[in-house]
Amino acid sequence: MYFVYILECKDGSLYTGITTNVERRFAEHKNRIGGHYTRSKQAVRVVYTEQYPNRSLASKRESEIKSWRRDKKMNLIESK
């Protein structure tokens, strides 16, 4: 099982990624182990997740969300 997740960073920016374990991956971001972006922006919390049966579908969705403007991402988060 794969998850697409969105993190909120300390500066209010959003980071989108995929993982098989959201809690572990968030801990990596918090400890500045994962992702160059979150090393400098400091991940604060997970604000959104979606579940997918395989990596291919999760990667496609991640790419789609990453292409969106902030307002569209915020609408997705708020619709949860």
State the pLDDT at residue 32.
83
Q: For residue range 31-40, what is the model confidence (pLDDT) as tens digits?
A: 988 778 999 9
* Structure-block tokens of residue 18: 């995929």
Mean pLDDT on 10-16: 97
Of the given ranges (31-35, 42-46, 51-55, 64-68), which has the lowest mean pLDDT?
A: 31-35
pTM, entire model: 0.94
Mean pLDDT on 59-72: 98
Domain count, the chain: 1
What CATH number did the domain enclosing 18 receive? Answer: 3.40.1440.10
Give me the domain span that covers residue 28.
2-79
